[in-house]
């Protein structure tokens, strides 16, 4: 192979990884700001480091070997004058094995964890001990599998040279608001000099962060204002509720094995009224985990179907879509409404059939995943879109679905629906992550909100236990006990933000360790990298009680409903956000058995982690939890930190930066009126896929 071709190959592989992170243009790189900073200015003594911490040590290799346990892995022991620690590589190159020859000294960095045999660092960063220590903080960027920080740093510094770093705002405005120039701000954030105040950089109070936060909030306000304006001008087909007790809705209500709660009835009425209007509904239905949103969605769908349009319901995961399909089918088919199913894992033949039925209008009610928004799916007359667990979707995905209702998909549909040229579907989004009212007003300024308060009667609250990781053996014994009594158990593996590979590896390790510790039980494993078919089989086995213990990553976080599961163990609970813990805990407490949620944590706990765990212990009310989450962490977590898309705030924090929101709002109004050119330039910098957003 020639050097040129191998270079080209590595380049494109790296580029593919950049794309995965949404990094396409120099602008994207410039705004890919550090998720945190590492202080690598000092060397620690091994005796002083502890699990859960990032450490930097200098130590000599005293022993290293390749082990099979059962997978091939490299492990080494290193020591300094104060103590020793293990290093471990799940995959490694011969060069790394070379490096770990006994007697060699290295500078070693990484996250320390409590392994099954004492403290260890998995996949540490190794460098020569002689190189001078950095004088300033080292930025750390969010990355993806196999993309090293150094590659990101290089691409970012190049973007800082070649990209546009000019200010979007005139200096008079900056002066008035006391903000620093854009270019200064990003240079400080990407490459802080030793003079910058480390604390305020780490805590996001530094003036450089304030400038970035303001810019982001301003872009958000500008785009919300634009979206509002364009939405007002849209038209939708009014979908009146069929009168009388023979309507589909009334017949479903009469057939239900339970009585709707007052709260459900109220939100159903709110939604039903919206549907009768000739402009699009944009309504968010929020209600705690288990509050009964699915039936509200089904009733909404039936009103629309009876009024003569197609309905699409989309869930963020295959597991959840499948579950909705089964449940809603059992409700709707007795009424003569056939429910269709469309997901990515279907065979291409059955997908074609479903797509055909959607296009010719035979399919009136379709449930599925993101596959519903593929270009190959054309609805004949889509009148209502329901998006479940909306916080898990990117805004872009939601918007593609809402555009499905617009005509012009294909030439033929344009002809057929010429009279409906401008009709857009009504939209109901659902979320179990309640948003406190103040936040909803800023963030979803153009959305109506309906809330289901409380849970249906007859639920037994989940008992929450906080247990230190050192008592893991007791917890495993408890798992064995619960299984012996016929209950099923979820074992949730820790979230590892920096590395998907490590997250996966931890799940695989845990699965193996639990299988060994519980030889009489069937221990299953489900994670995000499995094929959809394998995931479905694993979930089905768990649902059918074949699997006793299900080791899972956070793929089970939303919506999953297995009533016989009554014990959940969450490892490293201190790493999860409050909303996420609440969602996870919502997977148990769904059946008759009294349920227990064990939050295993590793000491020492940070103050915020302690407050989060305490909140989990003290309350199960999702609204209360949301409020505490907002107080503790700010809205990023609340709105789903993984959400990508234009409306997401990556840097600003609505709870902390309330003052900036107000300033940004006023500035947005002023710019739209007096300086639309500045407004546009600013939006261009910040809004990836801005056009999608404005079209919505
Ligand atoms: P979520 O709001 O989390 O999506 P679901 O819609 O999955 O909750 O509802 C949870 C469970 O409660 C389901 O089994 C559902 O059938 C049941 N349910 C919904 N409404 C009621 C009610 N009014 N009374 C009793 N059970 C209900
Ligand atoms: Mg649900």
Q: Strand ranges (DSSP E) for 288-411? A: 310-314, 339-342, 365-368, 382-387
Q: Which ligand is nearest to the CA of 392?
A: 2
Q: Could you give the domains of the chain?
A: 4-37+138-203 (no CATH), 42-127 (2.40.50.140), 248-452 (3.40.50.300), 462-619 (3.40.50.300)
Three-class SS state of 348: helix
Query: Residues 462-507: pLDDT tens digits?
Result: 999 999 999 999 999 999 999 999 999 999 998 766 677 777 888 9
Nearest Cα residue to atom 16 of ligand 1: 292
- CB-CB contact of 86 with 117 (8 Å): yes
Q: pLDDT tier at 419 (50, 70, 90 boundaries)?
A: very low
- Is the whole-model pTM more than 0.85? no
Q: pLDDT tier at 622 (50, 70, 90 boundaries)?
A: confident
Q: pLDDT tier at 580 (50, 70, 90 boundaries)?
A: confident
Query: Residues 652-680: pLDDT tens digits?
Result: 876 677 678 878 888 998 999 999 999 99
Q: How far is the CA of 445 from the centre of ligand 1 (A)?
A: 28
Any ligand 1 atom below 6 A from CB of 328: no
Pocket test for ligand 1, best of 290, 300, 432, 586 (most atoms within 8 A of CB): 290
User: Can you tell me which atom of ligand 1 is nearest the CA of 327?
Assistant: 16
Q: How far is the CA of 320 from the centre of ligand 2 (A)?
A: 8
Q: How far is the CA of 132 from the centre of ligand 1 (A)?
A: 60
Mean pLDDT across the stretch 502-522?
Answer: 91
Tokens 């998720």, residue?
35
Instruction: Report the pLDDT value the prediction gives residue 646, as an integer from 0 to 100.
Output: 32
Instruction: Report the pLDDT value the prediction gives residue 434, as an integer from 0 to 100.
Output: 65
- CB-CB contact of 314 with 458 (8 Å): no
Alpha helix locations (H) across 24-129? 26-30, 94-99
Any ligand 1 atom below 6 A from CB of 563: no
Tokens 């103590």, residue?
83
User: Can you tell me which atom of ligand 1 is nearest the CA of 291?
Assistant: 2
Query: Residues 330-345: pLDDT tens digits?
Result: 999 999 999 999 988 8
Asked whether the predicted pLDDT for residue 285 surpasses 60, the reply is yes
Nearest Cα residue to atom 5 of ligand 1: 292
Q: Is the peptide bond before 499 cis (omega within 30 degrees of 0)?
A: no
Selected residue with higher pLDDT from 307 and 422: 307
Asked whether the predicted pLDDT for residue 403 surpasses 80, the reply is no
| Cα–Cα distance for residue pair 147/13, rounded to 1 Å | 9
Any ligand 1 atom below 6 A from CB of 294: yes
| Rounded (10°) angle between helices 578-585 and 622-633 | 160
| Rounded (10°) angle between helices 293-306 and 262-275 | 30
Q: Quick one: how many helices (H) and strands (E) in the chain?
A: 26, 21
Instruction: Report the pLDDT value the prediction gives residue 644, as an integer from 0 to 100.
Output: 29
Tokens 């911490």, residue?
53
Instruction: Report the pLDDT value the prediction gives residue 639, as an integer from 0 to 100.
Output: 43
Buried b (16+ CB within 10 A) or exposed e, 468-495: ebeebeebbebbbebbeeebbbbbbbbb
Query: Residues 19-39: pLDDT tens digits?
Result: 888 888 898 899 999 988 988
Q: How far is the CA of 227 from the centre of ligand 1 (A)?
A: 34
Selected residue with higher pLDDT from 499 and 189: 189
Interstrand relation of 365-368 and 596-601 (parallel, antiparallel or unpaired): unpaired
Any ligand 1 atom below 6 A from CB of 570: no
User: Can you tell me which atom of ligand 1 is nearest the CA of 563?
Assistant: 14
Residues ≥6 apart with Cβ < 8 Å to 112: 49, 50, 51, 52, 53, 54, 55, 85, 119, 120, 121
Instruction: Report the pLDDT value the prediction gives residue 652, as an integer from 0 to 100.
Output: 80
Any ligand 1 atom below 6 A from CB of 290: yes
Any ligand 1 atom below 6 A from CB of 261: yes
Instruction: Report the pLDDT value the prediction gives residue 638, as an integer from 0 to 100.
Output: 40
- CB-CB contact of 59 with 46 (8 Å): yes
């Amino acid at each position: 192979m020639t050097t040129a071709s191998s270079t080209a190959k590595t380049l494109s592989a790296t580029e593919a990884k950049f794309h995965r992170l949404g990094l396409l243009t120099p602008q994207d790189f410039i705004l890919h700001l550090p998720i945190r900073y590492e202080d690598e200015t000092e060397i620690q003594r091994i005796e002083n480091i502890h699990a859960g911490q990032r450490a930097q040590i200098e130590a000599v290799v005293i022993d290293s070997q390749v082990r099979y346990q059962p997978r091939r892995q490299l492990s080494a022991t290193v020591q300094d004058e104060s103590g020793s620690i293990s290093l471990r590589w799940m995959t490694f190159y011969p060069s790394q094995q070379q490096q770990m020859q006994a007697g060699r000294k290295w500078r070693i960095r990484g996250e320390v964890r409590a392994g099954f045999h004492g403290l260890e660092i998995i996949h540490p960063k190794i460098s020569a001990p002689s190189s001078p220590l950095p004088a300033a903080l080292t930025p750390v960027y969010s990355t993806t599998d196999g993309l090293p920080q150094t590659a990101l740093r290089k691409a970012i510094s190049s973007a800082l040279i070649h990209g546009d770093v000019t200010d979007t705002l005139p200096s008079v405005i900056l002066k008035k608001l006391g903000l620093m120039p854009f270019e200064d701000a990003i240079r400080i954030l990407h490459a802080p000099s030793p003079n910058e105040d480390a604390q305020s950089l780490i805590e996001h109070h530094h003036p450089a962060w304030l400038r970035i936060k303001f810019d982001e909030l301003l872009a958000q306000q500008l785009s919300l204002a634009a979206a509002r304006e364009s939405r007002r001008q849209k038209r939708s087909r009014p979908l009146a509720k069929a009168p009388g007790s023979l309507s589909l809705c009334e017949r479903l209500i009469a057939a239900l094995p339970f009585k709707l709660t007052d709260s459900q009835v109220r939100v159903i009425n709110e939604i039903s009224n919206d549907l009768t209007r000739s402009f699009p509904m944009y309504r968010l239905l929020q209600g705690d985990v288990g509050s009964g949103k699915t039936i509200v969605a089904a009733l909404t769908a039936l009103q629309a179907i009876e009024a003569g349009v197609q309905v699409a319901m989309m869930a963020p995961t295959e597991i959840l879509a499948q579950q909705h399909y089964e449940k809603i089918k059992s409700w709707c088919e007795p009424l003569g409404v056939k429910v269709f199913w469309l997901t990515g894992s279907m065979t291409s033949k059955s997908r074609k059939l479903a797509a055909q039925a959607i296009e010719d209008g035979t399919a009136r009610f379709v449930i599925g995943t993101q596959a519903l928004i593929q270009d190959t799916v054309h609805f004949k007359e889509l009148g209502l879109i329901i998006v479940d667990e909306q916080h898990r979707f990117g805004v872009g995905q939601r918007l593609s679905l809402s555009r499905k209702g617009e005509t012009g998909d294909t030439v033929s549909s344009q002809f057929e629906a010429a009279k409906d040229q401008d009709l857009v579907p009504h939209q109901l989004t659902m979320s179990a992550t309640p948003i406190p009212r103040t936040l909803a007003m800023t963030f979803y300024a153009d959305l109506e909100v309906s809330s289901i308060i409380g849970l249906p009667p007859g639920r037994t609250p989940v008992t929450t236990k906080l247990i230190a990781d050192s008592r893991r053996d007791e917890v495993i014994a408890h798992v064995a006990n619960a299984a012996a009594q016929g209950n099923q158990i979820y074992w949730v593996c820790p979230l590892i933000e920096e590395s998907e590979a490590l997250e996966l590896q931890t799940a695989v390790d845990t699965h193996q360790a639990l299988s060994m510790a519980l030889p009489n039980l069937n221990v299953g494993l489900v994670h995000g990298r499995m094929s959809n078919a394998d995931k479905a089989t694993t979930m089905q086995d768990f649902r059918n009680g074949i699997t006793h213990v299900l080791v899972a990553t956070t793929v089970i976080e939303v919506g999953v409903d297995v009533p016989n599961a009554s014990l959940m163990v969450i490892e490293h609970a201190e790493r999860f956000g409050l909303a996420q813990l609440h969602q996870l805990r919502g997977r148990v407490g769904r059946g008759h058995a009294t349920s227990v949620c064990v939050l295993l944590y590793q000491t020492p706990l940070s103050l915020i982690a302690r407050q989060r765990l305490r909140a989990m212990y003290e309350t199960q009310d999702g609204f209360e939890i949301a409020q505490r989450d907002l107080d503790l962490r700010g809205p990023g977590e609340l709105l789903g930190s993984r959400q990508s898309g234009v409306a997401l705030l990556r840097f600003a924090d609505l709870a902390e930066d309330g003052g900036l929101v107000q300033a940004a709002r006023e500035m947005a109004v002023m710019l739209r009126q007096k300086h639309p050119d500045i407004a546009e330039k600013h939006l261009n910098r910040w809004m990836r896929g801005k056009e999608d957003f404005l079209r919505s």
